């Protein structure tokens, strides 16, 4: 099979096309013939070696954790999904080596959900990691519910855009940070208010909207943005980061709950997200499709953090 891989950690020039043996599914596993994947910050962080101490890894290393395609082979004991099913999945494995910048990937059947009718492979590829991250941060960790107020940082990004929609669907009021040129986009996703963090101190804007503090802050930026967000959470509220571990000392002193969420594969949750997509309660992010040959360019653009929605890599892209 064709794949985009690295043989050592380093810059974007490390990415190159290779031929690798087709993987075979074992018991309980399915093989997906990948049409498209999407680019996430974790892809270039893995390439550069940022996560080498967090996950066991081997070379050649194929990046990528999102997949959309067709099941073309199943292992022993798998009844669903059946060969021929159009599926998407978040494909993180305990050992980092065989990712989704490839023509095939093998994953446990429990990672996989069927793509909703009417959704193409490029749109579907942009969903698993981001939607599951938002779901697990907002609902599994923060227990977000109707009537609450949530601040979503980086609302124009992949996770942020999904978080806005999921929070709004749950009955929450959503505020988000985004550059001014992205305000129409995030407001269209369901945000009540968009705050341009380049023009104003987002803390002042949030205090005007919620003087007593918001119930939940979802941080998708880290660093100074996370550091300035603690004081915006009401006492008893929740701060959840998908980038770094919050400061336990600060959260304890403020009387708020905080934690770091690293998304896990979950086909059942992804199936629930698929139903929301099918019902029109959730929509895919804005995407730009590139061929796999431009994977290095796509990773560097993702790294610059100014992509609206998601960059998607497809084997049949023009």
The CATH number given to whatever domain includes residue 75 is 3.90.180.10
Confidence class of residue 107 from pLDDT cuts 50, 70 and 90? very high
Q: Answer whether residue 104 shows pLDDT above 60.
A: yes
Mean pLDDT confidence for 65-90: 97
Q: Are residues 101 and 139 in the same domain?
A: no
User: Is this structure's pTM higher than 0.95?
Assistant: yes
Q: Are residues 256 and 305 in the same domain?
A: no
Q: Are residues 78 and 144 in the same domain?
A: no
Task: Assign residue 234 the CATH number of its domain.
Answer: 3.40.50.720
Mean pLDDT confidence for 225-243: 97
For residue 166, being part of any structural domain is answered with yes
Which residues make Cβ contacts (< 8 Å) with residue 167, sequence separation at least 6? 138, 144, 150, 152, 174, 190
270-291: per-residue pLDDT in tens? 999 999 999 999 999 999 999 9
Q: Are residues 60 and 48 in the same domain?
A: yes
Q: What does the mean pLDDT of the chain come to? A: 96
For residue 277, being part of any structural domain is answered with no
Range of the domain at 255: 130-260
Q: Are residues 139 and 111 in the same domain?
A: no
Count: domains in the chain: 2
Q: Are residues 180 and 76 in the same domain?
A: no
Q: Are residues 224 and 244 in the same domain?
A: yes
Q: Answer whether residue 40 shows pLDDT above 90.
A: yes
For residue 297, being part of any structural domain is answered with yes
Q: Are residues 41 and 151 in the same domain?
A: no
Q: What is the pLDDT of residue 312?
A: 98
φ and ψ at residue 82, rounded to 5 degrees = -90, 160
Burial (CB < 10 A; 0-12, 13-18, 19+), residue 259, is middle
For residue 274, being part of any structural domain is answered with no
Q: Answer whether residue 318 shows pLDDT above 70.
A: no
For residue 87, being part of any structural domain is answered with yes
Q: Are residues 58 and 85 in the same domain?
A: yes
């Amino acid at each position: 099979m064709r794949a985009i891989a690295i043989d050592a950690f380093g810059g974007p020039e490390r990415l190159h096309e290779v031929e690798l043996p087709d993987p075979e599914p074992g018991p309980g596993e399915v093989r997906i013939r990948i049409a498209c994947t999407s680019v996430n910050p974790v892809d270039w962080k893995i390439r550069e070696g940022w996560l080498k101490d967090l996950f066991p890894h081997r070379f050649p290393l194929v990046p990528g954790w999102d997949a959309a395609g067709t099941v073309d082979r199943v292992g022993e004991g798998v009844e669903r999904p059946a060969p021929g099913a159009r599926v998407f999945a978040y494909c993180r494995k305990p050992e980092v080596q065989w990712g989704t910048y490839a023509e095939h990937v093998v994953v446990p059947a429990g990672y996989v959900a069927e793509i909703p009718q009417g959704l193409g492979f490029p749109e579907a590829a942009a969903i698993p990691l981001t939607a599951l991250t938002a779901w697990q941060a907002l609902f599994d960790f923060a227990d977000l519910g109707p009537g609450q107020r949530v601040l979503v940082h980086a609302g124009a990004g992949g996770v942020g855009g999904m978080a806005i929609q999921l929070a709004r669907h749950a009955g929450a009021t959503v505020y988000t940070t985004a550059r001014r040129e992205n305000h129409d986009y995030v407001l269209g996703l369901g945000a009540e208010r968009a705050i341009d963090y380049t023009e104003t101190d987002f803390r002042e804007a949030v205090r005007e909207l919620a003087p007593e503090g918001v119930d939940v802050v979802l941080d998708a930026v880290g660093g100074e943005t996370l550091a300035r967000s603690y004081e915006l959470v009401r006492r008893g509220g929740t701060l959840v980061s998908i980038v770094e571990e919050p400061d336990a000392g600060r959260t304890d002193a403020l009387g708020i709950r905080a934690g770091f969420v690293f998304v896990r594969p979950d086909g059942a949750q992804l199936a629930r997200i698929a139903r929301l997509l099918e019902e029109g309660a959730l929509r895919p992010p804005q995407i730009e499709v590139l061929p796999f040959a431009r994977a290095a360019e796509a990773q560097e653009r993702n790294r610059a953090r100014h992509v609206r929605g998601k960059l998607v890599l497809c084997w049949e892209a023009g």
